[in-house]
Amino acid sequence: MKLKKILIIIIPIILISGIIYFSAQYFITEAAVKKIDNIVKKTEDFVKIEYDSARAVLISKDILIENVVIANDEQSKITIKKILINNIDLKSEIPAFIDITFSDIDLSVSGKSILNSFTESIGYKEEIDFDISLKYLYKSETGDFNLERFEFSSPEAGVLSFSLNLGNLKLDNTFPENMLSEANPVLLNNAKIAFNDASITDRSLKFIADSIEMNLKDFKSLLNMQLDFLVNNVNSDLSSQSVDKLKEYISQPGSITFLLNPADPVPVDTLIINYNKPIKLINILDIDIQ
């Protein structure tokens, strides 16, 4: 009898909890879809965006969008299997924060996959899935932009990640022209580029070596000789330890990190003006390779 009384109490509680959960799930999803549709409408003048479904996860408050197609004409389009929005500022015209992941991305032109064409050219036999992850924090009142993570990844190829901190960045109607302002320049405070190789480095180097009719071993030796020349004959601030790390990576790819820590913030327009002067950029940015 006691068990029966307990069940009489517990079962309604479970049922009511289930009704509350699924009702909340429904209303949260409806709200999420409305927000997504509002974003889509804002982009209608530039691109056409379609998706199959969108839903919110009650506990984590994430928003999951599936089978997204972005196209600006009939010839080219981007397809994304899943978009997971962990966090996003929808109140500001320019989002103050974003944490989002795009899974299984493909770019196609005239029905042909650009990414798969590239991976096939360097020796991959099967299609490769690529993901992109983005997380940043932007303070419009100060112009401080902290890119915590911009990551391009594939289990078969590797993981390339960027992070940086910019100062005096104004994401308003003068962007991106204001990036070149001399009076009020956007400043690069620091940055980090990291790559964990799975297989793409040797495949890419072999592709280049084949194009100049060299074998991979000889081509790597040539690259190492050029790095030695860089250290011994060019006025570069790149340390011998950094060069050794780069040579080690070329010989046996694994993980490598480039740290950019200039003594003083560097105007972004200075980097743009000197884009074709690698030695000068190395000295300006105080690059360390680990």
With a cut of 90, say whether residue 57 has pLDDT above it: no
Q: With the C-alpha atoms ordered 180, 184, 185, 186, is the resulting torsion angle positive or negative?
A: negative
The two three-digit tokens of residue 77, written as one number: 């389009």
Give the helix/strand (H/E) hosting 6.
helix 2-42
Residue-averaged pLDDT of the chain: 79
pLDDT of residue 163: 96
Distances (CA, A) of 107 to 61, 67, 79, 117, 258: 29, 14, 7, 10, 28
Compute the distance between CA of residue 42 and CA of residue 39 in angstroms, rounded to an integer: 5
User: Which of 97-101, 112-116, 174-178, 269-273 has the lowest average pLDDT?
Assistant: 174-178
- Residue position matching structure tokens 């969008």: 65
pLDDT of residue 40: 63
Residue type, 145: F
Q: With the C-alpha atoms ordered 265, 271, 274, 280, is the resulting torsion angle positive or negative?
A: positive
Residue 145: φ, ψ to 5°: -120, 115
Q: When comparing pLDDT for 90 and 277, which is higher? A: 277
User: What are the boundaries of each domain within the chain?
Assistant: 130-289
Residue type, 39: I
- Residue position matching structure tokens 């340390």: 239
* Contact of 171 with 151, CB cutoff 8 Å: no
Quote the Cα angle for 194-196-202, to 5°.
115
Find residue 93's DSSP bridge partners: none
Strand-strand pairing, 76-88 and 48-56: unpaired
* Contact of 239 with 249, CB cutoff 8 Å: no
Other CB atoms within a 10 A radius of the CB of residue 166 amount to 21
Would you call 130 helix, strand, or coil by DSSP?
coil
pLDDT of residue 54: 75
The pLDDT of 238-243, averaged and rounded, is 80
List of E strands, 46-96: 48-56, 63-71, 76-88
The pLDDT of 209-222, averaged and rounded, is 92
Task: Give 174's pLDDT tier (boundaries 50, 70, 90).
Answer: low
* Contact of 150 with 161, CB cutoff 8 Å: yes
The pLDDT of 145-164, averaged and rounded, is 94
With a cut of 60, say whether residue 1 has pLDDT above it: no
Per-residue model confidence as pLDDT tens digits over 75-105: 778 888 998 888 877 777 778 888 989 899 8
- CA 136 to chain centroid, in Å, comes to 11
